[in-house]
Amino acid sequence: MTQHDASNPTPPARPVIRQLDEAAINRIAAGEVVERPASAVKELVENALDAGARRVEVTIAAGGKRLIRVKDDGCGMTPEELPLALARHATSKIDGSDLLAIHSFGFRGEALASLGAVGRLTLTSRVTGFEAAAIRVEGGRLGPVTPAALDRGTVVELRDLFHATPARLKFMRSDRAEGQALAEALRRLAMAEPHVAFSLRDATEGRDREIFRVDAETGDPVEALGNRLAAILGREFHDNALPVDGSREGLHLTGFAALPTYSRGAGVSQHVFVNGRPVTDRQLTGALRAAYMDYLSRDRFPAAALFVECEPHLVDVNVHPAKSEVRFRDPQAVRGLIVSTLRAALSGAGHRASTTVATETLGLMRPGPAAQRGEAGDAGGLIDEEDRPKRDAASPARIYQMDRPSMRAMQVARQSQAPGMAESGFGFETAPPAPPARLPGTEAPSARVEPDEGAEAEALPLGAARAQLHGNWIVAQTETGMVLVDQHAAHERLVYERLKRQMAETGVAAQALLVPEIVDLGAGAARLLEASDELSQLGLTIEAFGPGTVAVRETPAILGRIDAAALLRDILDELEDLDASTALPARLDAILSRVACHGSVRSGRRMRAEEMNALLREMEATPGSGQCNHGRPTYVELRLSDIEKLFGRR
């Protein structure tokens, strides 16, 4: 509003409050409820499910902008109910006495009225024992109820979406993009209702093409859900997913969560449901990521389908008209349930890694151009085709810290491994000092184990060690094939888990330095000193020594001699990268991961047969040892039959 000009004696016109007409109200409401064709399909399919449908058929044209038809076999509506169904805030799902007692998908009574306000909608329905009837609404104008032909259930046909609000059409994406979003919305609803059959067909320009179809599942709820997820997310997800089941304070969590080595490059495979309703809640997806924090790097995302069930009074689903957001009465209880249940499931998986690791490895081994086999820098099963970043020829592959340690770190690690390993029970011997850098073309040291050594270990999951190649890869033989182990990644995980157990039980033992090491960290010193109490629990004691300087007085005994300055800088980087709101246990685990990386056996470390077998046995007994702290696999298992296929023997 413009301010009054004193030189102009005429005051500005005062705004007048007026009541909007019904058509304008419906179009405004439609803007909140129906954002795009996918929103319309979601609302109509939810109505069908609330009506008890066991089969839902969806037909679209032009990505849903020209036609959306939803047919179900639910209970239907009588001719007298059809006009009321198209009125705003008319519903059979609640009586208005308790807005928190929501037991259905829909409850606001806005969907049909909103769709009729922005498109051309025809509603046809029949109840058993009544005649079928139809009603048409266009731009909010209701037509008469007329007789129709229909066996049972309801058919909602919506044509020319947003024809009454052409400005909204300018914000629509391409037909293909809208169709993909629409199909994704239907898939999410199909996950929530495994005992219902769904189909999606495209009738653009007269063709009839089936896009998506799942039949109704049978059996108990867990089996039905597993089969439905396999049909929608793929058999690989089902084969590499763990069932989850946990309860706490009136909350119940079920579903399936994939192994860490079956991760994605984006959050496209994270599906969360609350009382059967698909939701996109940052708090819930944040809890999902927190549960995998020990197993995945920040650029990888877990795959999961989780279902939270609770009394309706414990959650508010009326946060937004689209009903995609929820608010829990006790959000911390929900977060704790998700984190604890998922971590228990992942821990119970032991050393298991996803089957896609071996599949990707075999694909890389097959003859053919490198472009057909995939990028060599991708760990098996870690990068999906749709998630794979588009790199040009000049873009280097991602290299982790442990892949290319500094020359000083290599020397210190080799010199300090023997004392630390003796305490850990592996009994690694001190290796002779290796050259600081490997010249191009030279071979890394390798070790060979005689076949008769450890033959009885072949029956164990990771088999018996047979050789060490290039100072980093342990080759083990099993009864059904072979296992290739990344010794650094595997041992890093074992040290990490041992540090966590030690901290939880007795705290990390510290060894005092005869001469404190002074480290200049500049402005980061203050940030590190804020975490001094947490670091002391890990056996790392630091004190302020001066402006921007700290004194290291104790270090974790399990690491032996370490480069304290490098360790402090790594810890400082980790603390600065973490979200300020991250819980203390997550911060401690992140620091432990850094500490474990410094204390694990390095590439180029030559190992004896008993050392390699001890490593394999420890991996079998340690939960989560199938992947390193960054989510990459620690071993690849190849079946003998698959190896024979590589050579054309089968």
pLDDT tier for residue 282 given thresholds of 50, 70 and 90? confident
Pick the range with the lowest mean pLDDT from 49-58, 285-294, 312-321, 629-638. Answer: 312-321
CATH superfamily of the domain spanning 407-435+443-637: MutL, C-terminal domain, regulatory subdomain (3.30.1370.100)
Least Cα distance to 125 among 145, 153, 147 occurs for 153
pLDDT at 421: 42
pLDDT at 393: 42
- Span between the terminal Cα atoms of the chain, in Å: 81
Strands (E), 446-496: 447-448, 464-469, 473-477, 481-486
Tell me the mean pLDDT in the region 90-118: 65
Task: Name, of 58-62, 383-387, 615-619, the range with top average pLDDT.
Answer: 58-62
pLDDT at 55: 95
Tell me the mean pLDDT in the region 130-146: 89
CATH architecture of 221-348: 2-Layer Sandwich (3.30)
Give bridge partners of residue 637 from the DSSP assignment. 483
Contact present, 40 and 64 (Cβ < 8 Å) = yes
Please determine, for residue 601, whether its predicted confidence score (pLDDT) is greater than 50: yes
Least Cα distance to 598 among 475, 487, 496 occurs for 496
Please determine, for residue 284, whether its predicted confidence score (pLDDT) is greater than 70: yes
pLDDT at 191: 95
Question: What is the rounded distance in angstroms from the CA atom of residue 297 to the CA atom of residue 451?
Answer: 38
Pick the range with the lowest mean pLDDT from 21-25, 338-342, 542-546. Answer: 21-25
Mean pLDDT of the chain: 76
Contact present, 513 and 551 (Cβ < 8 Å) = no
| More confident call, 367 vs 223 | 223
pLDDT at 227: 94
Residues 6+ apart with CB under 8 A from 348: 242, 623
Please determine, for residue 266, whether its predicted confidence score (pLDDT) is greater than 70: yes
Tell me the mean pLDDT in the region 620-642: 82
pLDDT at 29: 59
Contact present, 265 and 383 (Cβ < 8 Å) = yes
Tell me the mean pLDDT in the region 61-88: 89
pLDDT tier for residue 463 given thresholds of 50, 70 and 90? confident
Tell me the mean pLDDT in the region 600-618: 79
- Tell me: the pLDDT tens digits for 570-599? 777 766 654 433 433 455 566 677 777 766
Tell me the mean pLDDT in the region 364-373: 52
- Within this chain, domains 22-214 and 221-348 share the same CATH topology: no
pLDDT at 81: 87
Tell me the mean pLDDT in the region 474-483: 88
- Tell me: the pLDDT tens digits for 507-555? 667 888 888 889 888 888 888 888 888 788 777 888 888 888 989 988 8
Pick the range with the lowest mean pLDDT from 80-94, 228-242, 286-300. Answer: 80-94
pLDDT at 210: 93
Tell me the mean pLDDT in the region 146-171: 85
Tell me the mean pLDDT in the region 111-119: 82
Pick the range with the lowest mean pLDDT from 24-28, 384-388, 474-478, 553-557. Answer: 384-388
Please determine, for residue 305, whether its predicted confidence score (pLDDT) is greater than 80: yes
Torsion of CA 492, 497, 498, 500, to 10 degrees: 130
- Pairing verdict, β 481-486 and 473-477: antiparallel
Please determine, for residue 230, whether its predicted confidence score (pLDDT) is greater than 90: yes
Contact present, 344 and 614 (Cβ < 8 Å) = no
CA distances from residue 174 to 64, 65, 67, 159, 269 in whole angstroms, order as listed? 11, 10, 15, 17, 23
- Tell me: the pLDDT tens digits for 540-549? 888 888 888 9
Strands (E), 497-559: 510-520, 541-546, 549-556
Pick the range with the lowest mean pLDDT from 16-25, 139-148, 421-430, 479-488. Answer: 421-430
pLDDT at 598: 66
CA distances from residue 160 to 66, 117, 361 in whole angstroms, order as listed? 5, 11, 49
Contact present, 380 and 359 (Cβ < 8 Å) = yes
pTM: 0.67
pLDDT at 439: 38
Please determine, for residue 617, whether its predicted confidence score (pLDDT) is greater than 50: yes
Tell me the mean pLDDT in the region 414-427: 43
Map out the domains of the chain as residue ranges. Answer: 22-214, 221-348, 407-435+443-637
Question: What is the rounded distance in angstroms from the CA atom of residue 68 to the CA atom of residue 158?
Answer: 5
pLDDT tier for residue 419 given thresholds of 50, 70 and 90? very low
Class of domain 22-214: alpha beta
pLDDT at 271: 93
Give bridge partners of residue 477 from the DSSP assignment. 464, 482
Please determine, for residue 368, whether its predicted confidence score (pLDDT) is greater than 70: no
Compute the chain's Rg from CA coordinates: 31
- Tell me: the pLDDT tens digits for 84-100? 888 776 666 555 555 56
| Exposed/middle/buried for residue 420 (C-beta within 10 Å: 0-12, 13-18, 19+) | buried
Least Cα distance to 341 among 275, 262, 257 occurs for 257
Tell me the mean pLDDT in the region 597-608: 69
Count CB-CB contacts under 10 A for residue 128: 8
Contact present, 203 and 191 (Cβ < 8 Å) = no
